[in-house]
């Protein structure tokens, strides 16, 4: 990956605080790549899932060319996954933002310059 590159990971609201703490603990980097966590709007409307927000969040990540990961809660079914995966972005379904961020940072650090970082991270994590 090019020195000084910057990538984004989109994180569902309940996972964001842990993911940001883990990212800060690692200095906001994976090797030479700067990583930024983008906290998404909550998809819960009271006790119901707001599908419009799910769609907006997924499209936001898919339309960002710097996105390499998307963290979502392991609830069933995943309405965001088809949108995000269509953009070749790795999806991590987890209840731990910390563990997901650690996993993503390892995948970024292990990537080489042979192909796109987004593709390599997806292949490693999915």
Domains in the chain with CATH codes = 6-125 (3.40.50)
Backbone angles phi, psi at 38, to 5 degrees: -110, 110
CA 69 from centroid of its chain's CA atoms: 3
β-pair type (33-39, 44-45): unpaired
Residue 60 and residue 43 in contact, taking contact as beta carbons nearer than 8 Å = no
Chain segment 4-14, per-residue pLDDT in tens: 689 999 999 99
Say how far apart CA 80 and CA 24 lie, in whole Å. Answer: 26
Chain segment 30-83, per-residue pLDDT in tens: 988 999 999 999 888 778 888 999 999 999 999 999 999 999 999 767 889 899
Task: Tell me if residue 36 falls in helix, strand or coil.
Answer: strand
Say how far apart CA 69 and CA 61 lie, in whole Å. Answer: 8
């Amino acid at each position: 990956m090019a020195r000084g590159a910057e990538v984004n990971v989109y994180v569902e609201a309940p996972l964001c605080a842990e993911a940001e703490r883990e990212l800060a603990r690692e200095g906001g980097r994976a090797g030479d790549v700067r990583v930024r966590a983008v906290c998404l709007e909550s998809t819960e409307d009271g006790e119901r899932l707001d599908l419009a927000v799910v769609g907006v969040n997924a499209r936001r990540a898919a339309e960002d060319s710097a996105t390499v990961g998307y963290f979502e809660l392991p609830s069933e079914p995943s309405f965001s996954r088809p949108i995000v995966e269509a953009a070749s972005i790795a999806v991590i379904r987890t209840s731990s933002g910390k563990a997901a961020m650690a996993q993503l940072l390892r995948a970024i650090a292990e990537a080489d310059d042979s192909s796109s970082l987004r593709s390599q991270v997806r292949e490693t994590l999915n």
